[in-house]
Amino acid sequence: MGRKPQSEASKQRKIESILKTAQEMILETSYDGVKISELARRSGMAKGTVFLYFPTKEEIFFSLFTHSIRSWFHRFGEALEAQINAGITLDVEIFLQELFESLNDVPHLPRMMVLLHSRIAPGLEQREEYSDFQIQILDAGGELLESYFSFLEKGVGAAVFGRILASLSGLETFGEIWAGFAIEACQNIQDPLLQHSSLGDAEHGKLHALDFYIQTVRRILKGYSIQ
């Protein structure tokens, strides 16, 4: 007697389990440190089963990235819309506040952005899928920005959104790799949080980098607002 075919719901549950485990592991270790055998074990399935759904490690993380950025983008857009509906005039400061609050739900996303170009995309079997997805995200982000910031000319929003995402990737790299440099370079930042003795170098670096990122996005948006 042959094996009973899996239902679509069962397949989806397994895919979600794989992606959830991949998300947990990328926050715990490096990309190279994520082993498919361990991912399969933690997902409660055989290694071969993982490869039935995702032929390569790159495909797993590309799927995780696309799912995560769409989820984040949806929440971010809803948060901005809620501000507008409450009668609040959207400015750069509110934009930044909602940006960072929405990212709290997807703490792995900045790291995924860093990995996307350097490690994930080169190993994808369908590179055109990656290119198409990039365009979709930038276009959607551009439309979102243009709808809220009247000073942005039509068609400019995608480039601005791309610069914001690129600087967010830089934040992750700057905070993790250049923590010591960040501390030395930002000695003049007066913030009690940065003086907290329990924070290690990496945490200090990320906080300094966060301040740097906030200033960068302010310059990006305010630069367009005065053109």
Q: Please indicate, yes or no, whether residues 92 and 193 belong to a single structural domain of this protein.
A: yes
pTM metric for this prediction: 0.74
Residue 120's pLDDT is what? Answer: 85
- Domain range for 118: 56-225
Q: Quick check: 148 and 179 in contact, CB under 8 A? A: no
How many angstroms from the chain centroid is the CA of residue 70? 10
Domain count, the chain: 2
Mean predicted confidence (pLDDT) in 43-57: 94
Q: Which of 37, 54, 71 is the last residue of a domain?
A: 54
Q: Which of 17, 34, 54 is the last residue of a domain?
A: 54
Q: Please indicate, yes or no, whether residues 33 and 62 belong to a single structural domain of this protein.
A: no
pLDDT digits (tens, 9 = 90+) for 5-32: 678 888 999 999 999 999 999 989 889 9
Residue 199's pLDDT is what? Answer: 38
Q: Quick check: 133 and 121 in contact, CB under 8 A? A: no
Q: Please indicate, yes or no, whether residues 116 and 199 belong to a single structural domain of this protein.
A: yes
Q: Please indicate, yes or no, whether residues 213 and 105 belong to a single structural domain of this protein.
A: yes
Q: What's the CATH number where 14 sits?
A: 1.10.10.60
pLDDT digits (tens, 9 = 90+) for 170-221: 666 655 544 444 444 444 444 443 343 333 444 444 555 556 666 666 666 6
Q: Please indicate, yes or no, whether residues 49 and 142 belong to a single structural domain of this protein.
A: no
Looking at per-residue pLDDT, the higher value among 119 and 66 belongs to 66
Q: Which of 34, 54, 74 is the last residue of a domain?
A: 54
Q: Please indicate, yes or no, whether residues 129 and 221 belong to a single structural domain of this protein.
A: yes
DSSP-derived letter for residue 116 is I
Q: Within 10 A of 69 (CB to CB), how many other CB atoms are there?
A: 21
- Token pair, residue 140, equals 């959607």
Residue 171's pLDDT is what? Answer: 63
- In this predicted structure, the answer to whether residue 57 has a pLDDT above a threshold of 90 is yes
- In this predicted structure, the answer to whether residue 50 has a pLDDT above a threshold of 90 is yes
Q: Please indicate, yes or no, whether residues 7 and 80 belong to a single structural domain of this protein.
A: no
Q: Please indicate, yes or no, whether residues 111 and 176 belong to a single structural domain of this protein.
A: yes
Residue 91's pLDDT is what? Answer: 78
